[in-house]
Amino acid sequence: MILSRSRASRKPAPDAAGEGGQGAPPRHVAIIMDGNGRWAKARRLPRLAGHRAGAEAVRRTLRAAAKLGIECVTLYAFSSENWKRPEQEIADLTGLMKQFLRSELDEIHAANIRLKIIGDHHAFEPEAARMVDAAVEKTAENTGSTLVVALNYGAQDELARAMRTLGERIRAGTLEPAGVTPALIAAELDTANLPPLDLLIRTSGEQRLSNFLLWQVAYAELYFTETLWPDFDEAALAQAVASFGKRERRYGGL
Protein backbone atom coordinates (compact mmCIF):
# COMPACT_ATOMS: atom_id res chain seq x y z
CA MET A 1 0.00 0.00 0.00
CA ILE A 2 1.27 3.45 -0.89
CA LEU A 3 0.23 5.17 2.32
CA SER A 4 -0.82 3.76 5.63
CA ARG A 5 -4.37 4.39 6.84
CA SER A 6 -3.12 4.81 10.39
CA ARG A 7 -2.36 8.32 11.60
CA ALA A 8 -1.71 7.39 15.22
CA SER A 9 2.05 7.68 14.86
CA ARG A 10 1.88 11.27 13.58
CA LYS A 11 3.98 13.75 15.50
CA PRO A 12 2.26 16.91 16.76
CA ALA A 13 1.52 19.12 13.77
CA PRO A 14 2.00 22.87 13.55
CA ASP A 15 -1.07 25.08 13.90
CA ALA A 16 -3.24 26.30 11.06
CA ALA A 17 -0.82 29.09 10.22
CA GLY A 18 1.80 26.57 9.24
CA GLU A 19 3.97 27.48 12.20
CA GLY A 20 5.21 25.22 14.93
CA GLY A 21 8.07 24.76 17.30
CA GLN A 22 11.54 24.01 16.05
CA GLY A 23 11.76 20.30 15.33
CA ALA A 24 8.05 19.97 14.43
CA PRO A 25 7.44 18.05 11.19
CA PRO A 26 6.19 19.90 8.12
CA ARG A 27 2.48 19.66 7.46
CA HIS A 28 2.80 20.35 3.75
CA VAL A 29 5.75 19.29 1.60
CA ALA A 30 6.04 20.06 -2.11
CA ILE A 31 8.54 18.37 -4.41
CA ILE A 32 9.96 19.37 -7.78
CA MET A 33 10.77 15.91 -9.11
CA ASP A 34 13.79 16.60 -11.30
CA GLY A 35 16.41 14.36 -12.86
CA ASN A 36 14.62 11.50 -14.60
CA GLY A 37 16.29 12.24 -17.94
CA ARG A 38 19.77 12.56 -16.47
CA TRP A 39 19.27 9.36 -14.50
CA ALA A 40 18.42 7.50 -17.71
CA LYS A 41 21.23 9.13 -19.70
CA ALA A 42 23.82 8.13 -17.12
CA ARG A 43 22.70 4.52 -17.59
CA ARG A 44 22.45 4.77 -21.39
CA LEU A 45 18.72 4.13 -21.18
CA PRO A 46 15.85 5.85 -22.99
CA ARG A 47 14.22 8.77 -21.18
CA LEU A 48 11.09 6.68 -20.67
CA ALA A 49 13.09 4.38 -18.39
CA GLY A 50 13.93 7.39 -16.27
CA HIS A 51 10.29 8.40 -16.05
CA ARG A 52 9.33 4.85 -15.06
CA ALA A 53 11.98 4.88 -12.35
CA GLY A 54 10.62 8.26 -11.29
CA ALA A 55 7.17 6.74 -10.85
CA GLU A 56 8.67 4.17 -8.49
CA ALA A 57 10.27 7.04 -6.56
CA VAL A 58 6.80 8.56 -6.17
CA ARG A 59 5.56 5.34 -4.55
CA ARG A 60 8.52 5.22 -2.18
CA THR A 61 8.20 8.85 -1.26
CA LEU A 62 4.49 8.65 -0.49
CA ARG A 63 5.08 5.67 1.78
CA ALA A 64 7.86 7.56 3.52
CA ALA A 65 5.69 10.67 3.89
CA ALA A 66 3.03 8.60 5.63
CA LYS A 67 5.58 7.25 8.11
CA LEU A 68 6.79 10.78 8.86
CA GLY A 69 3.26 12.04 9.47
CA ILE A 70 3.22 14.57 6.63
CA GLU A 71 -0.32 15.80 6.13
CA CYS A 72 -0.09 16.99 2.54
CA VAL A 73 2.32 16.18 -0.31
CA THR A 74 2.31 18.19 -3.54
CA LEU A 75 4.14 16.78 -6.55
CA TYR A 76 5.13 18.82 -9.62
CA ALA A 77 4.30 16.19 -12.22
CA PHE A 78 3.84 18.21 -15.42
CA SER A 79 4.37 21.92 -15.84
CA SER A 80 2.63 24.19 -18.32
CA GLU A 81 6.04 24.54 -20.00
CA ASN A 82 6.48 20.79 -20.45
CA TRP A 83 4.32 20.91 -23.59
CA LYS A 84 7.50 22.09 -25.34
CA ARG A 85 8.90 18.57 -25.03
CA PRO A 86 8.76 16.07 -27.93
CA GLU A 87 5.31 14.64 -28.63
CA GLN A 88 6.51 11.11 -27.92
CA GLU A 89 7.76 12.04 -24.47
CA ILE A 90 4.46 13.75 -23.66
CA ALA A 91 2.65 10.60 -24.82
CA ASP A 92 4.92 8.47 -22.63
CA LEU A 93 4.30 10.69 -19.59
CA THR A 94 0.55 10.60 -20.20
CA GLY A 95 0.68 6.81 -20.44
CA LEU A 96 2.58 6.58 -17.17
CA MET A 97 0.01 8.81 -15.50
CA LYS A 98 -2.82 6.53 -16.62
CA GLN A 99 -0.88 3.45 -15.56
CA PHE A 100 -0.24 4.96 -12.13
CA LEU A 101 -3.94 5.67 -11.65
CA ARG A 102 -4.90 2.16 -12.71
CA SER A 103 -2.41 0.49 -10.38
CA GLU A 104 -2.52 2.79 -7.36
CA LEU A 105 -5.92 4.47 -7.11
CA ASP A 106 -7.63 1.69 -5.16
CA GLU A 107 -4.85 1.68 -2.58
CA ILE A 108 -4.87 5.47 -2.37
CA HIS A 109 -8.61 5.36 -1.72
CA ALA A 110 -8.34 2.51 0.79
CA ALA A 111 -5.75 4.53 2.69
CA ASN A 112 -8.31 7.35 3.11
CA ILE A 113 -6.21 9.75 1.01
CA ARG A 114 -7.78 12.64 -0.88
CA LEU A 115 -6.42 13.33 -4.36
CA LYS A 116 -6.39 16.94 -5.52
CA ILE A 117 -5.20 18.34 -8.85
CA ILE A 118 -3.79 21.82 -9.38
CA GLY A 119 -3.42 23.21 -12.88
CA ASP A 120 -5.58 22.29 -15.89
CA HIS A 121 -5.42 18.54 -16.48
CA HIS A 122 -8.14 18.76 -19.13
CA ALA A 123 -5.44 19.82 -21.58
CA PHE A 124 -4.37 16.16 -21.69
CA GLU A 125 -5.97 13.67 -24.05
CA PRO A 126 -9.62 12.90 -23.14
CA GLU A 127 -9.13 9.44 -21.62
CA ALA A 128 -6.40 10.68 -19.27
CA ALA A 129 -8.47 13.69 -18.24
CA ARG A 130 -11.49 11.47 -17.53
CA MET A 131 -9.37 9.11 -15.43
CA VAL A 132 -8.05 12.01 -13.38
CA ASP A 133 -11.58 13.38 -12.88
CA ALA A 134 -12.79 9.96 -11.74
CA ALA A 135 -9.88 9.61 -9.30
CA VAL A 136 -10.54 13.02 -7.78
CA GLU A 137 -14.26 12.25 -7.45
CA LYS A 138 -13.63 8.83 -5.91
CA THR A 139 -11.39 10.20 -3.17
CA ALA A 140 -13.16 13.53 -2.59
CA GLU A 141 -14.72 12.53 0.73
CA ASN A 142 -11.59 10.94 2.17
CA THR A 143 -10.43 12.51 5.43
CA GLY A 144 -6.84 11.34 5.78
CA SER A 145 -3.82 12.95 4.18
CA THR A 146 -3.90 14.80 0.84
CA LEU A 147 -1.95 14.03 -2.31
CA VAL A 148 -1.80 17.04 -4.62
CA VAL A 149 -0.57 16.54 -8.18
CA ALA A 150 0.35 19.54 -10.32
CA LEU A 151 -0.66 18.77 -13.92
CA ASN A 152 -0.28 21.36 -16.66
CA TYR A 153 0.43 23.77 -13.82
CA GLY A 154 2.26 27.09 -13.89
CA ALA A 155 2.33 29.47 -10.94
CA GLN A 156 2.31 32.61 -13.07
CA ASP A 157 -0.83 31.39 -14.84
CA GLU A 158 -2.36 30.51 -11.45
CA LEU A 159 -1.73 34.05 -10.20
CA ALA A 160 -3.04 35.60 -13.42
CA ARG A 161 -6.26 33.58 -13.13
CA ALA A 162 -6.69 34.71 -9.53
CA MET A 163 -6.15 38.34 -10.53
CA ARG A 164 -8.71 38.05 -13.33
CA THR A 165 -11.27 36.65 -10.90
CA LEU A 166 -10.71 39.46 -8.44
CA GLY A 167 -10.71 41.97 -11.29
CA GLU A 168 -14.15 40.75 -12.39
CA ARG A 169 -15.44 41.18 -8.85
CA ILE A 170 -14.09 44.73 -8.77
CA ARG A 171 -15.69 45.50 -12.13
CA ALA A 172 -18.99 44.07 -10.90
CA GLY A 173 -18.83 46.32 -7.87
CA THR A 174 -18.77 43.49 -5.33
CA LEU A 175 -15.19 44.17 -4.28
CA GLU A 176 -13.30 47.39 -3.67
CA PRO A 177 -9.66 47.53 -4.84
CA ALA A 178 -8.63 48.38 -1.29
CA GLY A 179 -10.24 45.13 -0.20
CA VAL A 180 -7.77 42.98 -2.10
CA THR A 181 -5.64 41.33 0.59
CA PRO A 182 -3.11 38.49 0.60
CA ALA A 183 -5.75 36.26 2.19
CA LEU A 184 -8.22 37.08 -0.57
CA ILE A 185 -5.65 36.29 -3.25
CA ALA A 186 -4.73 33.00 -1.54
CA ALA A 187 -8.39 32.00 -1.49
CA GLU A 188 -8.49 32.24 -5.30
CA LEU A 189 -5.43 30.05 -5.87
CA ASP A 190 -5.49 26.37 -6.80
CA THR A 191 -4.11 25.56 -3.34
CA ALA A 192 -6.95 27.20 -1.40
CA ASN A 193 -7.98 25.10 1.61
CA LEU A 194 -4.64 23.26 1.72
CA PRO A 195 -2.23 23.67 4.63
CA PRO A 196 0.33 26.44 4.10
CA LEU A 197 3.44 25.21 2.34
CA ASP A 198 6.18 24.41 4.85
CA LEU A 199 8.93 22.73 2.84
CA LEU A 200 9.79 22.70 -0.86
CA ILE A 201 12.26 20.07 -2.06
CA ARG A 202 13.97 20.04 -5.45
CA THR A 203 16.04 17.10 -6.58
CA SER A 204 18.92 16.82 -9.09
CA GLY A 205 20.97 19.77 -7.88
CA GLU A 206 19.03 22.51 -9.66
CA GLN A 207 18.28 25.53 -7.47
CA ARG A 208 15.31 27.32 -8.97
CA LEU A 209 11.53 27.21 -8.58
CA SER A 210 10.65 26.73 -12.26
CA ASN A 211 7.30 28.51 -12.02
CA PHE A 212 6.09 26.31 -9.15
CA LEU A 213 4.03 27.61 -6.19
CA LEU A 214 5.51 31.10 -6.43
CA TRP A 215 2.96 32.63 -4.05
CA GLN A 216 2.84 29.70 -1.64
CA VAL A 217 6.62 29.52 -1.22
CA ALA A 218 6.82 32.97 0.42
CA TYR A 219 7.74 31.58 3.86
CA ALA A 220 8.44 27.97 2.99
CA GLU A 221 11.82 26.43 3.69
CA LEU A 222 13.76 25.42 0.57
CA TYR A 223 15.78 22.22 0.35
CA PHE A 224 17.95 21.32 -2.65
CA THR A 225 19.59 17.94 -3.07
CA GLU A 226 21.95 16.53 -5.69
CA THR A 227 19.99 13.26 -5.64
CA LEU A 228 18.28 12.55 -8.95
CA TRP A 229 14.57 11.95 -8.54
CA PRO A 230 14.60 8.21 -9.44
CA ASP A 231 17.08 7.69 -6.57
CA PHE A 232 15.01 9.64 -4.03
CA ASP A 233 13.83 7.40 -1.21
CA GLU A 234 12.75 7.27 2.42
CA ALA A 235 16.21 8.19 3.69
CA ALA A 236 16.38 11.19 1.34
CA LEU A 237 12.99 12.46 2.48
CA ALA A 238 13.90 11.91 6.13
CA GLN A 239 17.07 13.94 5.61
CA ALA A 240 15.08 16.82 4.10
CA VAL A 241 12.57 16.74 6.95
CA ALA A 242 15.38 16.61 9.50
CA SER A 243 16.92 19.70 7.91
CA PHE A 244 13.55 21.43 8.11
CA GLY A 245 13.27 20.54 11.78
CA LYS A 246 16.54 22.28 12.59
CA ARG A 247 15.54 25.58 11.02
CA GLU A 248 14.12 28.48 12.99
CA ARG A 249 11.11 29.97 11.23
CA ARG A 250 10.65 33.57 12.33
CA TYR A 251 8.24 34.83 9.62
CA GLY A 252 9.94 38.23 9.64
CA GLY A 253 10.12 38.48 13.43
CA LEU A 254 13.04 38.11 15.80
Does 120 count as an annotated binding residue? Answer: no
Does 85 count as an annotated binding residue? Answer: yes
Does 36 count as an annotated binding residue? Answer: yes
Does 45 count as an annotated binding residue? Answer: no
Does 114 count as an annotated binding residue? Answer: no
Active-site residues, by number, are 34, 82
Query: In terms of residues, how long is the chain?
Result: 254
Q: Do the Cβ atoms of 99 and 74 come closer than 8 Å?
A: no
Does 243 count as an annotated binding residue? Answer: no
Q: Do the Cβ atoms of 162 and 192 come closer than 8 Å?
A: no
Give the H or E element holding residue 169: helix 155-172
Does 209 count as an annotated binding residue? Answer: yes
Does 229 count as an annotated binding residue? Answer: no
DSSP string, 81-128: TGGGS-HHHHHHHHHHHHHHHHHHHHHHHHTTPEEEEES-GGGS-HHH
The angle formed by the CA atoms of residues 47, 115 and 190, to the nearest 5 degrees, is 90
Does 80 count as an annotated binding residue? Answer: yes
As beta bridge partners, residue 150 has 76, 118
**Cα separation of 123 and 113, whole Å?**
25
Q: Which residues are annotated as a binding site for substrate?
A: 35-39, 47, 51, 79-81, 83, 85, 202, 208-210
Q: Which residues are annotated as a binding site for Mg(2+)?
A: 34, 221
Q: Which residues are annotated as a binding site?
A: 34-39, 47, 51, 79-81, 83, 85, 202, 208-210, 221
